[in-house]
């Protein structure tokens, strides 16, 4: 990579006087001067200066200057700037790649989707991950095929981003692939993300429900936690027994999501199991149990809730009073 000489490439007379005065500084031998000149050009908020900034990103010998260029280009969303940022994802310097990825993740215009999509097939995993991340933030419908293709990537980070894209797209075509990932992916973080994506997608099929129920027994507690939360979001009636069993999980985070899910199911037959948590040593669990009981609406839980209304934790007392009011007014 050779040093740039912007005064020879860009005619200062074609810029306004303030920008024209800054252009020669981009050819300074001092990288710090070039970096500050980029910031000054960006502060002008003038699209006519984007050419020199893009040139700095592509050609400057200093990774610090290229990083600065990648950061300031994130303020504009044009085809030429998006293309330059995509190219910078494969830069030799990690800081430049990271800055370009961050700028691309801030894209908002749907027109940027077709520019990003081809980069999901790049040979470098970081480039594919960053491109998928940008597509996720765009909610670009054309990202469905690239994301489905990325589910078979050997790199965990790529599959993780692909799952996130599919979750936000909420496509029925993604239900089967996400279910398979939730059931069999070797990486716990990817399985967890797939389970979460199933909770914000289309209505779950029987196979998906079976996978979610099985996930309550996953070796990773984070996966079990997500499975409990997703079963609650989907309000799966047949999940009652599995969720009640999850109230005895070794991790309180799983128990918390399980009790929340049971409240959403509105199955009063779970009230005794939920009420048992009102005496748990963890106050968050006691509070969530009280709130779940308000949704279950079982009068049999009133004595336990009256006791909980004197709990030493103010949040638990408040939740218990809410539950008492809710249940008593329908009796």
At residue 257, φ and ψ (nearest 5 deg) are -65, -35
CB proximity list for 246: less than 8 A, separation 6 or greater: 216, 224, 228, 254, 255, 257, 258
**Which of 216, 204, 232 lies closest to 291 in space, CA to CA?**
232
Other CB atoms closer than 10 Å to residue 29's CB: what's the count?
Answer: 7
pLDDT at 170: 86
CA 321 → CA 221, 248, 276, 298, 305, distances in Å? Answer: 32, 25, 17, 15, 8
Query: 156: burial class by Cβ within 10 Å (0-12, 13-18, 19+)?
Result: middle
Taking the C-alpha atoms of residue 170 and residue 305, their distance in angstroms, rounded to an integer, is: 39
* Segments of the chain with pLDDT less than 50: 1-8
pLDDT at 284: 96
pLDDT at 4: 47
pLDDT at 137: 85
pLDDT at 41: 93
Taking the C-alpha atoms of residue 78 and residue 295, their distance in angstroms, rounded to an integer, is: 50
pLDDT at 13: 67
Taking the C-alpha atoms of residue 32 and residue 246, their distance in angstroms, rounded to an integer, is: 58
CB 89 within 8 A of CB 131: yes
Taking the C-alpha atoms of residue 79 and residue 14, their distance in angstroms, rounded to an integer, is: 21
Taking the C-alpha atoms of residue 149 and residue 171, their distance in angstroms, rounded to an integer, is: 15
pLDDT at 201: 63
Length of the chain (residues)? 331
pLDDT at 14: 74
Mean pLDDT of the chain: 93
* DSSP 8-state class, residue 204: P
Structural element, H or E, at residue 248: none
pLDDT at 5: 43
Taking the C-alpha atoms of residue 75 and residue 295, their distance in angstroms, rounded to an integer, is: 46
CATH number of 1-106: 1.25.10.10, 3.40.50.300, 3.40.50.720, 3.90.1170.20? 1.25.10.10
**What does the pLDDT look like over 163-203, one tens digit per residue?**
999 999 988 899 999 999 999 999 999 999 999 999 886 66
């Amino acid at each position: 990579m050779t040093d740039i000489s912007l005064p020879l490439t860009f005619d200062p007379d074609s810029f306004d006087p303030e920008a024209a005065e800054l252009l020669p500084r981009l050819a300074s031998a001092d990288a710090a001067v070039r970096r500050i000149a980029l910031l000054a050009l960006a502060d002008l908020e003038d699209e006519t200066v984007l050419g020199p900034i893009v040139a700095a990103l592509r050609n400057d010998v200093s990774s610090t200057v290229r990083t600065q260029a990648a950061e300031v280009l994130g303020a504009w969303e044009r085809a030429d700037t998006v293309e330059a940022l995509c190219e910078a994802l494969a830069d030799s310097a990690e800081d430049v790649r990271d800055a370009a990825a961050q700028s691309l993740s801030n894209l908002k215009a749907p027109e940027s989707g077709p520019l990003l999509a081809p980069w999901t097939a790049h040979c470098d995993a970081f480039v594919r991950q960053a491109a998928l991340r940008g597509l996720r933030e765009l909610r670009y419908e054309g990202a469905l095929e690239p994301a489905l293709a990325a589910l078979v990537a050997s790199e965990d980070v790529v599959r993780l981003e692909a799952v996130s894209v599919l979750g936000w797209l909420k496509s029925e075509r993604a239900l089967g692939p996400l279910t398979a990932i939730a059931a069999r992916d070797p990486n716990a973080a990817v399985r967890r993300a797939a389970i979460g994506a199933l909770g914000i997608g289309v209505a779950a099929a029987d196979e998906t429900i079976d996978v979610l129920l099985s996930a309550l027994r996953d070796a990773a507690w984070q996966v079990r936690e997500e499975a409990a939360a997703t079963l609650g979001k989907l309000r799966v009636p047949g999940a009652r027994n599995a969720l009640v069993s999850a109230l005895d999980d070794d991790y309180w985070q799983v128990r918390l999501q399980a009790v929340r899910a049971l409240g959403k199911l509105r199955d009063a037959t779970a009230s005794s199991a939920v009420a048992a948590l009102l005496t748990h040593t963890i106050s968050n669990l006691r509070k969530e149990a009280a709130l779940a009981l308000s949704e279950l609406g079982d009068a049999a839980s009133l004595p336990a809730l009256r006791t909980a209304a004197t709990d030493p934790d103010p949040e638990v007392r408040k939740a218990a009073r809410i539950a008492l009011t809710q249940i008593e007014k329908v009796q």
